[in-house]
Structure formats: C-alpha cells, structure tokens
Structure 1
Amino acid sequence: MKPAAFEYHAPSTATEAVTLLAELGEEAKVIAGGQSLVPMLALRLAVFDHLVDLRKPSELRGIEVRAESVRIGAGNTHASVGGSEQVRRAVPLLSRATPHIGHFQIRNRGTIGGAIAHADAAAEYPVVALTLDAAIETLSPRGARTIAASDFFTGMWSTDLEADEIVTGIEFPVWHGRCGYAIEEFTRRSGDFAMAGAAIAVRLDADSRIDRCAIGLFGLAATPVRARAVEKDLLGRPAAEISAREIGTAATASLEPSSDVHGSAEYRRRVGAVMVARAWQRAIAEASND
C-alpha cells in the first residue's frame, strides 16, 4: 500500500518546526528517521495531512561531552551514536544498546530523538534513558524545557510531549568509579523488538559492595520500568554474596506483562527474570575487574 496524500514541510530550524506544528495543529506529524512512522503511513494505520521533517535543523545534531554528562542531539542517528568513541567511553550502556536496535538499515536512518519520542516499551533507547536517569530536552513555541526520563514515558507509545513540542536532545549522566554495564534482551529473530529485556548499571565501592545500581526492564510493561525497590535493597551489600537469579526474580515479580501470540504473561516474566540475571552477572563482572 501507499500512504494517503500529505503535504511535506522541511523547516531549517527547530524553532520553525515547532511553529509549523502549532499552526497546523492535530493534522501534522513530526518525522525524523521515519523508521516507525513510514510503515504505519504505508499501511494507512496512521494518516496525517502534513509531515514536518526534522532532518535539516543542525541544532538537533551533535554530541557534546560535559563535565558530568553527555548531551546527544535528537537528530543523531543510531549508527552515529553507536559509532561514537565519546559515547562509548562516557555512556557505555547506550553504546552497547545500539547494536540491538533493528537492522543496520534502521540504525542508519533512525534517530535517537525519534526512538525516545516514539516511546515503544520494547525499545532499547527508552530503557537506557530511564535506567541512567537521563534528561529529555524539548522545545515548543512556549520555549524550552527539560523532562526527567522517569516522567517522560506515560504509557504505550505516549509521552509527556505536547502536540507542538519536539525532542531536541537527551542528556545522559556520566558514572564514575568501578562501574559495570550490560543489556540483555530476548527476541524471536535478530532485529525484532524484545519480548523481554534488562539494562543494568552498577558501581562498586572499594570493598566491592554495591554503591549504586540501576535496573531497567523493557518489553514487560506499557513503558520501560525501573526495579527501584530491588535497587534500594542491594545498596551496601557485598557483590559476591548476591544471587543474580534472585535479583531477576525479585525485579520482575510485580510486573504484569501482556499476553499475545508471542507468549503468555508468565512466560514473558520468566524470560525477563533470566535477562535481568544475565545482565547483572555481566555488569558485576565488569565492575569487579575495573
């Protein structure tokens, strides 16, 4: 099938883009890499009279390393994020998540801002943003604002963004010290969205006790989620005495995944527990060797 007819707009700046969105109203839709939107348009699962393309604004690109964080422009492709040595050194979890995203064609076109704004609960970048307490920078005709990742994802494919607002960048905090990072996911086929997955960051103190940790889960709820109660319980405990299997079970116990043709809720929960356990083991091993 082909998309329904629409009018194409290519603003040169982010300000022009949000002005257009405000003028055009509900009949307009932002397109960045188009890796999620274009298939929906082609199947006529979505119809818009206007598409506002965000590829031209230069202020939406670039990677800036700051003292305690890394800011990544929303227009950076997955490939540019995954290939950045700056990102690999400063935000390893984000770098390691990138190869899990679709196929190389998708990574060459899709953008980090688009992935965050699309808010698929089974996608990798949203869970990394949540796990690392990233800040989502946005712009609307009313000005700029910053939204904590914990407040940004509000439901399945829904966010705190207003209709005339776009993501301009994402700021990821940089962890220091004896840190380890890992992301694990289970898919039916390579490139598919995850049925269940986990992203983990952990830091050990000089005595190899858990000094800081974050456990993010995806594909198991309407949004990416954090196992905050488990994180709190782990603080101060010797890493060597922690059972990865028990952490996996505890992190997924309260979740209620959906059942579908790919698997039951119980199956997804069990797979999620295994993904947490595997990611925990890898993250602890890396932190212990630092």
Structure 2
Amino acid sequence: MSLISTLDRCVSLKIFGVFSKELGVTCIEAYDSSIVAVLEEIRATATLEGLAVLDLAAEADESVVMYSVGVAGPTTIATGRLLMTGQRGRPTHLVGQDGRPVLACPWVMAPGRPGGLLLWRSPRSPGWTQTDYGLAASVALMVRMTIGTAAGYSGIDHLTGVPNRRWFLDEADRRAERLDHDGAVASLLLIDVDNLKQLNASQGRELGDQLLVRVASQIRATVRPGDLVARVGPDEFAVWHDGMDHLTAAERADALCNGRLFHGSPEHPRVSLSIGIVSRAPGASDDVRGLLRRAYMAARDVKARGGSGWRVAQPSSQPGCSDAAE
C-alpha cells in the first residue's frame, strides 16, 4: 500500500485522534499505545520494514531512539541520524550501506529539541518518490503533534512508548481503590528481561534498546486492551490486570515465557523472561508499591533458578513454565 493510502487510512481510523472522546479513555490511558500504534499501522499498511522517532538532543549516554517498530539494519539509525543532522527542515533520503532505502523527516520539537521520523524499506526495495516525500512529511507532522500533545503528561517511557514507573504506581493505586469499591480482585506481573546487562555489554546498547521495544510490544500483544503495561525499571516491565486472579495471570505469564521474541542468532539472540506474579484481594492492606516488591522478589527467585519462568508470590506458588534457563 502506498503512503497516500496509508495516510487516508490513518485519518479514517482516527489513529492520530487518540485523545478524542470517542475512544472513551483518558488522555494518558490512550497514550499507552498511541505512538506505537500509529507507527505499527503505518509500517503494516505502507509495507515498510520499520519506522523510528529520533531525539537528536539526547545525551551522549542515551539512545536517540524514542520509539521504534520493525527491524532496523545495523546502520539504519546511524544513517537516519546523519540525514536529519545534515538536512534539518525538509525530508531527504539515502540508500544505506546495507541497501535499505532510508527516508528522514526532520523536525524541531520545542524547546529546541531536534529530531524526526525515520522510515525505511527492506534491502533492494524501490526508492522513494516525490509523492512519498510529501505524504511522509504529513505523517511526520501528525506524529510530532501526537508526541507534543502527550509529552505534557510526562508519564511515558520514551524508548518503549509505555507508561513509566511513576505513572503506573499512581494509576494502579487509583484502580485498586475502584476495585475495592466493586469487590473485585486484581493481579500484578513483574516481568524481568533476563541477561539484558550482559547483552548490552557484549553487543551494544542499541541492540538492547531494540530488544526492550520488542518485549514491550510482545507484552501489549498478550494482555487485554484495558490492562496497564509500564516500564518500571531498566530491564523490568509491570502489568496490572483488573478483575483477574493469579491463576489466569499465570496463564498470561506462561504465554509470555513461551513466546519467541528473537530466535538464536548473533544479530538477534533469543530472549527469556523471569516473571513474578502477585494477586490482590478486595480491601487488601498492601498498596501497589508493596505488591510490586512482592512480585519483584518472586521474579528474582525465578532468576536465581536460572530464569525463563514464572512464580506466584504466595505460599502455594507453583513452578513456572521452565525451572532452568534456556
């Protein structure tokens, strides 16, 4: 599908109108998936290999990638960064060293933060046309507006596009109060990505960042639309399930453990997860921070046994999907 068709589809589906009342959700709840959903929709309907939003004002020790979907080549992000640095203000393209046609749409996000939208196709794909330029610039403008509107809530992890720890704690506490009123249970998952520090040390932080984005995407694909997904630590995610007991939560954890994010290869090593599960009864004395600590301890216990599994943080805990690292 062309970028023209993609833009028409995005407008008709109101993907960029994530803050409209028609969606029946609050602004910050909608933003949980808004940016990544926009990028995923563009990638799928325009048959792109991937897209990324770059922040060129990032500190030296920070990744320039704010959001990313799809698979990038080893030089794709560097090529896009070069294009945005050299041609700020208008779209430009270049075929990377690996044969991927890369199109960069630069912008300046107030206050004075340069960045932009990066699009790329698979190696040896057709190049970009002038029509693509115009439509890509329009898409980039709407993505920029969406980011700018939501940035004021300052509750988002820029790498993965999911809420951060602070927002998760506040929102989960609010939900717990509502569940107490309704007499309903809840469950919380603490998902620890195994061996991320070692991966960053051996293969570079860029690959580790790509992995975190993939993990966040996999988690979102596994949970229900109304569940809360957040990045609560450098290599940790949390999921809050309204009205779900620990047995059903364990089934979700098992599905995550058995999912294949990457298959074993030097470029994309296989990923395993250590997951702690805690359930909350109506009127329980534990606040969300306490629940998170208990889930963390359960996940740490899984890691101590080799990782790649889940454990329920209660006396009747069961073994997870695997007791040994894979």
Taking structure 1 as the reference length, the TM-score comes to 0.30
Looking at both structures, which has the greater relative contact order when contacts are Cα pairs under 8 Å and sequence separation is at least 6? 1
- Higher relative helix content: 2
Greater radius of gyration (CA): 2
Taking structure 2 as the reference length, the TM-score comes to 0.28
